Amino acid sequence: MHIPNPYENKHYKLYFVLPVVLIIAALFFIPNIPQGIDLRGGLLITVFTPSEITPAQIAEIQGALAQFSPSGVRSFSSPAGSGVEIEIPSDERLAKGEELLAEMNKLNNEFVELEIAKSPLADQKKQETLAKAGELNSLFSQQALSGDVQKDVLQAQQSFLDARSAYRQKIAAALSGVVSTETASFKEVGSSLSKFFVTKTREIVIYSFLFSAIIIFLVFRALAPSFAVIFGAAADIIITAGVMGLLGIPLTLASVAALLMLIGFSLDTDVMLTACVIKRKEGTPAQRAFGAMKTGLTMNASVLISFGILLLLSLWLQIPFYYQVGSVAVIGALVDSIATWMGNAPLILWSVERKEKTGA
């Protein structure tokens, strides 16, 4: 079966319009990406039940937990069992307590170090630690502090732990009234940890693009190919993120890992295309680009098959982690086919043609 070479069409530059349009459309959906509990903080409760949860029971659970403002209640059924997953946003008072606890522990560690070193600053740090312990203790307890640093720190810590335990028990009591529970697990991500995840995720994405741009420029020694390669990778991530917002796929540590994997995969196909068109000399640039496309689409097909199986498995077993990785990888592989062969390829071919015309 003969497949015509799309890059021998004199209007091949118009292919570039599609990825640009998809990028613009994706920008409208990216703000709609729901943040997972890993990045926004909160409490994830997984409850296994003797039988499947019905829509009526979902409504009862939402009503019973209305005071906790659940952000998501969804049932699941898998070979491992049936049950319900409940996401509850971070309690403001506990989130404030967590911040105070981290600050108090830091001040206490500094005080201990200064005291061991017999520093004159130890007394000042002691007063700061006592003040922070008093602030934390007063948030959850009416019991007065003694004025002894270590005793007050322990008491403030315990008051926070007791408040968090009471909060969870209150949720469990509300749940037990509407659903039969076999086992239940609580996964909590504090506000400070979620902020850390968000910050590090942002830094990793920025650094990955920055270092990739530098390395690619050093390899090809030209701005146009370097821009084309980075454009392909950026388009892959932006459009994939837009589809995540459209389909409601949450941004979690799992989906972020899949997005970072897509950067590497996209750079792989983009660099392979650029090297084939620029470095090789056999045939015309269009023929070399078409040959690279055959190889690249084979690579994309392998990703689609492997992660497609993972996605189907996650839907059957109801495993959110696998679903997030599989869905993002499948979407990214499809998007990469568009970004690379309709976005990156026309840019590379145009730069080569321009270079040949100018005789540079």
pLDDT in tens, 46-105: 888 777 778 888 888 888 888 888 887 887 776 667 778 888 888 888 888 988 998 999
- Edge to edge, what strands does the sheet with 81-88 contain? 72-78, 81-88, 42-49, 183-189
The total of other beta-carbon atoms located within 10 Å of residue 351's CB is 20
Give yes or no: residues 210 and 302 share one domain: yes
Give yes or no: residues 140 and 51 share one domain: no
Is residue 213 predicted with pLDDT exceeding 70?
yes
Residue 161 domain-assigned?
Answer: no
More confident residue, 40 or 102: 102
Whole-angstrom distance, CA of residue 311 vs CA of residue 341 = 25
Give yes or no: residues 149 and 84 share one domain: no
Please choose, from the candidates 140, 216, 168, the residue with its C-alpha nearest in 3D space to the C-alpha of residue 68: 168
Whole-angstrom distance, CA of residue 331 vs CA of residue 240 = 6
Domain limit, last residue, from 131, 154, 177: 154
Residue 1 domain-assigned?
Answer: no
- Give the model confidence (pLDDT) of 169-198 as tens digits: 888 888 887 877 667 777 776 656 666 766
pLDDT, position 171:
87
Give yes or no: residues 261 and 242 share one domain: yes
Whole-angstrom distance, CA of residue 256 vs CA of residue 202 = 10
Residue 123 domain-assigned?
Answer: yes
Give yes or no: residues 349 and 285 share one domain: yes
How many residues does the structure list for the chain? 360
Is residue 359 predicted with pLDDT exceeding 70?
no
More confident residue, 137 or 216: 137
* Reported confidence tier of residue 20, pLDDT bands at 50, 70, 90: very high
pLDDT, position 194:
61
DSSP 280-330: --SS-HHHHHHHHHHHHHHHHHHHHHHHHHHHHHHHHHT-HHHHHHHHHHH
Give yes or no: residues 18 and 128 share one domain: no
C-alpha 118 chain-centroid distance: 46
Domain count within the chain = 3
Give yes or no: residues 285 and 307 share one domain: yes
Its domain, for residue 146, covers: 94-154
Give yes or no: residues 120 and 47 share one domain: no
Give yes or no: residues 113 and 216 share one domain: no
- Give the model confidence (pLDDT) of 109-164 as tens digits: 998 998 888 888 888 999 999 999 999 999 988 888 888 888 999 999 999 999 98
The CATH number linked to 72 is 3.30.70.260
Residue 160 domain-assigned?
Answer: no
- Give the model confidence (pLDDT) of 300-355 as tens digits: 899 899 999 998 988 887 777 888 899 999 999 999 999 988 988 888 888 887 77
Residue 84 domain-assigned?
Answer: yes
pLDDT, position 197:
67
Give yes or no: residues 149 and 293 share one domain: no
pLDDT, position 192:
62
Residue 46 domain-assigned?
Answer: yes
Give yes or no: residues 207 and 329 share one domain: yes
Is residue 263 within 8 A of residue 209, CB to CB? The reply is yes
Is residue 82 within 8 A of residue 75, CB to CB? The reply is yes
pLDDT, position 191:
59
Give yes or no: residues 50 and 30 share one domain: no
The CATH number linked to 199 is 1.20.1640.10
Q: Are strands 72-78 and 183-189 parallel, antiparallel or unpaired?
A: unpaired
Residue 140 domain-assigned?
Answer: yes
Residue 163 domain-assigned?
Answer: no
pLDDT, position 120:
86
- Give the model confidence (pLDDT) of 263-282 as tens digits: 888 888 888 888 888 877 78
Q: Coil, strand or helix: which one is 70?
A: coil
